[in-house]
Amino acid sequence: MTADVAYSFRSVRDELERATADYLAISRGSHLYSDPEAHQAAEAKAWERMMTLRDRADAEPAPAETATA
């Protein structure tokens, strides 16, 4: 199973929330990587994903409010 399938969310905002959590976990988990370069590469990839999703979320139109009769 790929990450794209594992992290398929209903809304871009939910996906952004997960990407932010993933980035923070990677950022704080430098001790889990074999060397500083591997950590920097993972952190850069997570940052790019988070920024891409943030841009997509910012561009997404706000949900239409339901009219009450």
Q: pTM for the full model? A: 0.72
Lowest mean pLDDT among 3-7, 55-59, 65-69: 65-69
Element (H, E) at 48: helix 36-59
Q: Cα-atom radius of gyration of the chain, to the nearest Å? A: 16
Q: Select from 68, 63, 50 the least CA-distant residue to 10.
A: 63
Q: What is the pLDDT of residue 22?
A: 97
pLDDT in tens, 10-54: 789 999 999 999 999 999 999 999 999 999 999 999 999 999 999
Q: What is the pLDDT of residue 25?
A: 97
Residue 33 C-alpha from the chain's centroid: 20
